[in-house]
Amino acid sequence: MKAESGSSAMFVQCQGCRKTLFATEFLASHKVCGTCGHHHRLTWRERVDATFDADTFCESASTLVSHDPLNFPEYAPKYGQAQAKTGSMDSVTIGTARLEGLPVSVAVSDFHFMGGSMGSVAGEKVTLALEEAANARIPAIVFCASGGARMQEGILSLMQMAKTTAAVERCQEAGVPFIAVFTDPTMAGVLASYASVADVILSEPRALVGFAGQRVAKQAGVHKAPKDFQSAEFAMRSGMIDRIVPRKDLRPTLATLCRTLGGRLLHGAAHG
């Protein structure tokens, strides 16, 4: 969304319907258009503020940075620019927080950092967040927003798919629920790893959700592609998602799941 009148930013334009919106109202609704319902992308900080109890987020592993293992062309400057732009070291932020008072382990991917791509750092952080959930016996909540694996780290990025998926198994073994929230976009290497084996998969409306780039996928079956191909709604219809949840309902929905699926953890041996 871009500011309509220079630096004053009294107004913003909706990226969905192009209507001009009051900035204050827009922010109050966590960047959901009041007219068309378009869910604009959030930064990780906005996501945390929109979802968890105020001032309960406690970040961990915030200083992890990639080593550019392949010395990949133009990666170092791009990485630096993304850090300068977002104030984050990499695409995923993790920590613990409270959700309606319940302790949770959290990972949030931020599309604004190199398209939320998953390299060594993002893979490590998602793994740490899932391991923390398993060790502390608290639910894991992961917000996905990613174009997929980060090609600049080559084969090591691909390996993050296996690493994060293995960490999901730790949660399963520990009996802690893992809830994935698909936001725009949830694609490729992220979708085809930890995200798709969550206990419960929620998605924001109209998020892009798919395995192959749209161009590639449509080439492979263009005549058969429905209009909403690779949308959350298409994935829902295909049985790949549990619920499509508007942003304003995410917090209570997640809390409900933590109390039901994670209920045993809260009440300990009494109900165990």
Determine if the peptide bond prior to 185 is cis (ω within 30°).
yes
**Site membership for other proteins, residue 63 (CB under 8 A):** yes
Q: Cα separation of 26 and 190, whole Å?
A: 29
**Site membership for Zn ion, residue 3 (CB under 5 A):** no
**Site membership for Zn ion, residue 216 (CB under 5 A):** no
**Site membership for other proteins, residue 51 (CB under 8 A):** no
Q: Return the range that interacts with other proteins (CB under 8 A); candidates 12-20, 26-34, 157-165, 243-251.
A: 157-165
- State phi, psi for 188 to the nearest 5 degrees: 45, -120
Listed in sequence order, the residues at least 6 apart from 23 whose beta carbon sits closer than 8 Å to its beta carbon are 3, 9, 10, 11, 12
Among 239, 270, 271, 272, binds other proteins (CB under 8 A): 239
Q: Cα separation of 157 and 149, whole Å?
A: 6
Max CA pair span of the chain: 59
Among 1, 12, 14, 114, binds Zn ion (CB under 5 A): 14
Return the exposure string of 30-56: e unless at least 16 CB atoms fall within 10 Å of the residue's CB, then b.
bbbbeeeebbbbbbbebbbebbbeeeb
Among 5, 20, 24, 35, binds Zn ion (CB under 5 A): 35
Q: Would strands 209-210 and 92-99 be described as parallel, antiparallel, or unpaired?
A: unpaired
**Site membership for other proteins, residue 158 (CB under 8 A):** yes
**Site membership for Zn ion, residue 17 (CB under 5 A):** yes
**Site membership for other proteins, residue 69 (CB under 8 A):** yes
Q: Which is nearer to other proteins, 155 or 270 (CB)?
A: 155
**Site membership for other proteins, residue 116 (CB under 8 A):** no
Q: Cα separation of 46 and 173, whole Å?
A: 32
**Site membership for other proteins, residue 196 (CB under 8 A):** yes
* Total of chain residues touching Zn ion, rule CB under 5 A: 7
Interacting residues with other proteins (CB under 8 A): 63-70, 72-74, 89, 120-121, 123-124, 127, 149-151, 153-163, 165-166, 168-170, 188-189, 191-197, 210-213, 216-218, 220-221, 224-226, 229-230, 234, 238-240
